[in-house]
Amino acid sequence: MNKYLPDFSAITTFVLDVDGVLTDGTMLAFANGEQVRAFNIKDGYAIKHALKRGYKVAIISGRNEVGVRRRLESLDVSDIYLGVDNKLDVFENYLYLQEIDPENVIYMGDDMPDLEVMQHCGIAIAPADAATDILAVADYVTNAGGGKGAVREIIELVLKSHQEW
């Protein structure tokens, strides 16, 4: 699908959506109201590895679930923005507060709420099973689908390009 790899040399930061990126988009809704998602353990390893290497990892998601926050905190992610209505506003504020140039950022999203942010980051990434409009604006499309190792794939590619994997 991709003809070439983007130039990852300037990347210092990964900003990720949750549903459809860190998960496959499946949500189990229990009678007690709890909504559960499955995360890929290899994605988790890659996130922890990137953080240990000094990369920044931030999460911006429209949904706000305690279980999601706990999973991200268990990976040592501290920049977690859940329940977000306007992802671009949160993204731009995060970059401002952290003094990060947008060109240093990979944003990975899979659906329409991610579109604006993908147009304002250094490299826009989409999982293989992202919505058609998102695939059309992505600078790179992973071989793996959301929740199936797509995050691991892109983190590994970036860190390998920096000889840090």
* 43 labelled binding-site residue: no
CATH number at residue 94: 3.40.50.1000
Q: What is the pLDDT of residue 1?
A: 59
What value does the CA radius of gyration of the chain take, rounded to a whole number of Å? 15
Helix (H, G, I), strand (E, B) or coil at 129: coil
2 domain residue, yes or no:
no
pTM over 0.85: yes
7 domain residue, yes or no:
no
Q: What is the pLDDT of residue 79?
A: 98
Q: What is the pLDDT of residue 33?
A: 85
* 110 labelled binding-site residue: yes
26 domain residue, yes or no:
yes
* 111 labelled binding-site residue: no
Q: What phi-psi label fits residue 83: left (phi over 0), alpha (psi between -120 and 50 degrees) or beta?
A: left
Residue 132 neighbours by CB under 8 Å, 6+ apart:
none
51 domain residue, yes or no:
yes
> Domain range for residue 30?
13-161
32 domain residue, yes or no:
yes
Counting as low any pLDDT under 50, the low residues of the chain are: none
Give me the helices (H) in 18-106, please.
Answer: 41-52, 66-74, 87-98
Q: What's the number of domains the chain is made of?
A: 1
Q: What is the pLDDT of residue 123?
A: 98
pLDDT digits (tens, 9 = 90+) for 61-104: 999 989 999 999 999 999 999 999 999 999 999 999 999 999 99
- Whole-number Cα distances in Å, 102 to 7, 70, 139: 14, 27, 14
